[in-house]
Amino acid sequence: MLSLAGLAACGGSAAPAAPSTTAPTTTTTTTVTTTTPVYVVLFTHIEDNTPASPIGTAAARLQYSGMRTGLINMASLARRYNVKWVLQPDWTLLLAAQAYEDAAMTASTGGVNVLRYLHDSMGVVIDPHSHENGGYNYTDVAYLLDQLGVGGTTVIGGHIWDPTLSQFSNWDRFRSPQSGQTYPAARWRGDILMGSGTPNHVNDPVVSGVWRPKDRNNYFTDDPAGNIVAVGQFRGDVNGITELNTLAKAGTIASTCMKTVSIHIQPANLTSASGLAAVESTTVAPIAALGSQVVTTDFTSLVATWRSSFSARGCIYVPR
């Protein structure tokens, strides 16, 4: 069940070359029409600094409990608006879950750990996310998710694509199963890239669509024979959804191309006093109001739809 994925884009700085605006094509046909919606993934990365205090301390339990409540509240908000939300945690939160999900804590979640509650009862999809720090890599995170009863996805929750950063841009190692660092007997292979980030997210590419990166130096070239799929995040906001729909109606984006947007809901918004209200008013409610213009989904389901409804046609849209 286990296989791995690349480094999350959140440290350092660089100025990568912009992707080509030429969309890759294939000879396949498709059954979609000009009214296809934008496929949107709302997701949250929980970084390896949460909880910030050492596992086993009272402070860490308190910090974990606060994030736990925030996760449940976010899942409830998503369910209220009938939108999908994806959680991608790093290893620290998972070790905290193993340490603190005791009878007292699980009393509020039906006697199961919060990750199982979110996954089984609230419909939250949970993918691995890793900065590969502290002795834990993606395979280790996938293994911990398995141990907590919510493993199984092959989404690489964040990576650096820029080939000029050779020490970080190693997403292509997931073309074959990878061993864990802390749990070397574990094996995992990730095959869905969702980040296409740059260090500190200072120059992330603005790309919509789904494709199979050819290699590190030809990341934005679709290779129909490739065994890793990338999903473009576009502008990462609600306005990007409207923009893509407008472009599609104008014929700028082919009706045979899948339109994609990924929006990161910051973990700080899950725990601050007014953060969740802001998420509701600026992101969740406006997306729900778009109706049939949008489909909220998770990365695994998005790629499955790309294969079944778009004939796995590699398409990239980059605004000029």
Q: Does some domain include residue 255?
A: yes
> Whole-prediction pTM value?
0.89
The mean per-residue pLDDT over the stretch 291-298 comes to: 97
Q: How far apart are CA 300 and CA 51, in angstroms?
A: 28
Q: Please tell me the predicted confidence (pLDDT) of residue 35.
A: 66
3-state SS assignment for residue 43 = strand
Longest dimension (CA), the chain: 59
Q: Is the pLDDT of residue 165 over 80?
A: no
Q: Does some domain include residue 316?
A: no
Name the residue range of residue 53's domain: 38-292
DSSP state of 248: H
Q: Is the pLDDT of residue 302 over 70?
A: yes
Q: How far apart are CA 295 and CA 281, in angstroms?
A: 18
The mean per-residue pLDDT over the stretch 36-40 comes to: 96
Task: Supply the mean pLDDT for the chain.
Answer: 89
Phi, psi of 262 (to 5 degrees): -120, 135
Give the number of domains in the chain: 1
Q: Please tell me the predicted confidence (pLDDT) of residue 109.
A: 98
Q: Does some domain include residue 257?
A: yes
Q: Please tell me the predicted confidence (pLDDT) of residue 24.
A: 42
Q: Does some domain include residue 20?
A: no
Q: Does some domain include residue 67?
A: yes
Q: Please tell me the predicted confidence (pLDDT) of residue 9.
A: 43
Q: How far apart are CA 293 and CA 33, in angstroms?
A: 13
Q: How far apart are CA 48 and CA 158, in angstroms?
A: 13
For the beta carbon of residue 139, count every other beta carbon within 10 angstroms: 30
pLDDT per residue over 42-53, tens digit each?
999 999 999 999
Q: How far apart are CA 169 and CA 171, in angstroms?
A: 6
* Bigger pLDDT: 1 vs 89: 89
Q: Does some domain include residue 18?
A: no
Tell me the one-letter amino acid at 298: D
Q: Does some domain include residue 43?
A: yes
Question: Could you tell me if 155 and 19 are in contact, meaning their C-beta atoms sit under 8 angstroms apart?
Answer: no
Q: How far apart are CA 177 and CA 173, in angstroms?
A: 8
For residue 274, what is the domain's CATH number?
3.20.20
Q: Is the pLDDT of residue 2 over 70?
A: no
Q: Does some domain include residue 5?
A: no
Q: Is the pLDDT of residue 10 over 50?
A: no
